[in-house]
Amino acid sequence: MYPISMIPYCNMEPYRILGEPQDCRFVWHTPRQSTHALLEGQSLAACVPTGALPDLNPLVTPVRSLGIAANRAVRSVLLFSDRPFVEMDENTSIYLTNQSVSSVRLLFILLGYNVGLGHLPRITDQREKANGILLIGDAALRAVYGDAAEQHRSFPHVTDLASAWYKEHGLPFVFARWVVSREAPVAFVERLEQWLDRFETQEARLIAASIPTSAKQLELSEEQIESYFSGLHWVLKAEDRAAQELFLEQLNSLRGLSFAASWPLEQEHDEAVSP
């Protein structure tokens, strides 16, 4: 059975609900883990964080124009802070998610727009003392709508990173892209492409079918999940691809700069997950 990394966040439910491609099996990984799985040959394909594409090049190639993109607000990549975003400078500290290097890199760039790359907040591993906390995926949704909301009352300011990106560039943000290993067998690539083709033709049905299952999983209302999904799209357009290239160009321009050394912009392992 060919292994495919699958992220257990509800924004991937439309893909999961289609079922595994023929002769394939899903392996459960966080976004960061999906990158490691490809690098280490443990997976042949994944919907990887866009910010991790430079780490994977030239080991993978994009497959079809599918992934996850936010029209303006994503609602699941959020910075919770005790002051406005524009005041998050070198005198403040941020506790970062360890599940996605892409979101960390996006936050790095957005903070640079506001306070300058030489005045970025410090990174702390003491969550209780941080001035801001970056959350992604289902954890971010629960912090806004669900049972974790009370834990974040001390952070009255919530910055949606996709909204901040749109404000700067007037473009959507592509959070993930489907890629396949260049060493994958031809038979697997064909099965994956056929599977993604089916997804594209059934996208609307799969999204609708994902709403009740996602709501039950997160203990949120179907209306909340439907509202969340309404800001996302899974079949990427020319505007999405242009936004992705802009983000990757900006990432490339930051490589090797001394002020980036204090931020964890490189890939690191994190704990295993299950669906």
pLDDT at 256 over 70: no
Helix, coil or strand: residue 6: strand
**CA-CA distance, 1 to 39, in Å (whole number)?**
19
Judge contact between 68 and 234, C-beta under 8 A. yes
- Whether the per-residue pLDDT at 165 is higher than 70: the answer is yes
Strand (E) or helix (H) holding 161? helix 161-169
pTM of the model: 0.88
Superfamily of domain 2-69+173-252: Periplasmic binding protein-like II (3.40.190.10)
Per-domain residue ranges for the chain? 2-69+173-252, 77-171
**What are the beta bridge partners of residue 61?**
180
For 39, counting Cβ atoms within 10 Å of its Cβ (0-12 exposed, 13-18 middle, 19+ buried), the class is middle
The CATH class, in words, for 77-171 is: alpha beta
Which pair of tokens denotes residue 146?
Answer: 């669900």
Confidence of residue 111 (pLDDT cuts 50, 70, 90): very high
Tell me the two tokens of residue 204.
């609307």
Q: What is the pLDDT of residue 118?
A: 83
Query: Who's near 261: CB < 8 A, 6+ residues apart?
Result: none
Within 121-248, strands assigned E span: 122-123, 132-136, 157-160, 173-181, 232-235
Q: Do domains 2-69+173-252 and 77-171 have the same CATH topology?
A: yes
Provide the pLDDT for residue 206. 97
Using only C-alpha atoms, the chain has a radius of gyration, in whole angstroms, of 18
Task: Quick: pLDDT tens for 65-101.
Answer: 999 999 999 999 999 999 999 999 999 999 987 777 7
